[in-house]
Amino acid sequence: MRGFWRRYSRNRGAVIGLFILLAVIICAAAAPFLFPRSPWSMVQRPFLPPFTVDGLMLGTDALGRDVLSGLFHGARVSLLVGLVSTVVALSIGIPIGALAGYYGGLVDDGLMRFTEFFQTIPSFALAIVLLAIFQPSLGYIILAIAIVSWPPVARLVRGEVLSLRHREFVEAATLSGQSNLRIIIWQVLPNALPPIIVLASLMVATAILLESSLSFLGLGDPNVMSWGYMIGAARTVLRTAWWLSFIPGIAIVLTVLALNLIGEGLNDALNPRLRSRTP
């Protein structure tokens, strides 16, 4: 564990990313305490620029809602959607990839054609179609994002499992009478974990972007305040009140950047082939 942190912290960007992400998490956790009122409620007259009225640091939007409150509550939604949809995508992608890689042959062909079916459709278009079919609630948004983002996981896991499948320790496990399921879960997958973790950290970032894009188009959950919705609502007043789009935009950029930096740091720390590289 100490060795892991030492390798991780060697990448300065990754440490900065971790701090930004921690800040976002704290904001999300503190939102209900700092801003107990609903972020949808009107608090002042509309279009107050930032730093003009005490108590409303970032001003108000077109309907007089507190922008700072929206930012904090939006962080909750972004993180929630990012994390949960990634977990759902992993739980679809890992089993499919593991089965395809382990059994090979017809199972592999079948599962990979199924995966390719999803890969051939542009993911954003598919997400829009899915949300148009379902109701735009938070649960369905998460599901839609997960459905469009699992194929790369399946591909990655399949590749890793393929290369581990014929290692001697897996053969030894077969000989000692363990069932295939046990071998996949206890012998193969733990060794395939590092690249999956790296991919997952990047998927959280992509999911946050997807959710923002969907909310921007008005396909978000109408009951929850999100960063994408804030930008989308402010786009009509972009010329008169540019900060209303700019501020949540910065929040998205920072969070996604932080997750990407973390992903890169994790890759450095977990990838044994890079461990001994010269600085």
What letter represents residue 4's amino acid? F
Q: Using the rule CB under 8 A, give the single segment among 11-19, 65-73, 86-94, 178-186 that binds other proteins.
A: 178-186
Asked if 120 touches other proteins (CB under 8 A), the answer is no
Tokens coding 121? 């459709």
Residue 173 makes contact with other proteins by CB under 8 A: yes
> Which residue among 55, 133, 175, 273 contacts other proteins (CB under 8 A)?
175
Q: Determine contact, residues 60/67, Cβ cutoff 8 Å.
A: yes
Instruction: Tell me the closest approach of the beta carbon of residue 122 to other proteins, in angstroms.
Output: 31
Please provide residue 187's backbone torsions phi and psi, each rounded to the nearest 5 degrees.
Answer: -100, -45
Buried b (16+ CB within 10 A) or exposed e, 65-81: bbbbbbbbbbbbbbbbb
Q: Kindly state the smallest distance separating residue 112's Cβ from other proteins, in Å.
A: 16
Nearer to other proteins among residue 190 and residue 222 (C-beta): 190
For 232, residues 6+ apart whose C-beta sits below 8 A from its C-beta are 215, 216, 217, 218, 220
How big, in percent rounded to 5, are the helix, strand and coil portions of the chain? 75, 0, 25
| 273 counts as binding other proteins under rule CB under 8 A | no
Site for other proteins in 149-168 (CB under 8 A): 167-168
Residue choice 169, 223, 242, 274 for contact with other proteins (CB under 8 A): 169
In three-state secondary structure terms, 53 is strand
**Overall residue count recorded for the chain in this entry:** 279
Task: Give the pair of three-digit tokens for residue 223.
Answer: 């009951």
In whole angstroms, how close is the CB of 221 to other proteins at the nearest point?
A: 40
Compare residues 36 and 272 and give the one whose CB is closer to other proteins: 272
Q: Is 109 in the site for other proteins (CB under 8 A)?
A: no
Residue from the set 121, 132, 171, 236 that interacts with other proteins by CB under 8 A: 171
Closer to other proteins by Cβ: residue 125 or 172: 172
Among 2, 113, 273, 277, binds other proteins (CB under 8 A): 277
Q: How big is the site for other proteins, counted in residues (CB under 8 A)?
A: 21
Does 174 contact other proteins by CB under 8 A?
Answer: yes
Q: Least distance (Å) from other proteins to the CB of residue 273?
A: 12
Asked if 172 and 137 touch (Cβ cutoff 8 Å), the reply is: no
Decide: 266 and 198 in contact? Cβ < 8 Å: yes
Per-residue binding letters, 187-226, with other proteins (x by CB under 8 A): x--xx-----------------------------------
261-to-6, 98, 114, 265 alpha-carbon distances in Å: 16, 28, 32, 6
With H, G, I as helix, E, B as strand and everything else as coil, classify residue 66. Answer: strand
* 140-155 core/surface letters (b: 16 or more CB in 10 A; e: else): bbbbbbbbbbbbbbbb
Of 19, 182, 236, 250, the one binding other proteins by CB under 8 A: 182
Tell me the Cα Rg of the chain: 22
* 69 vs 187, beta carbon nearer other proteins: 187
Interface ranges with other proteins (CB under 8 A): 167-169, 171-179, 182, 186-187, 190-191, 276-279
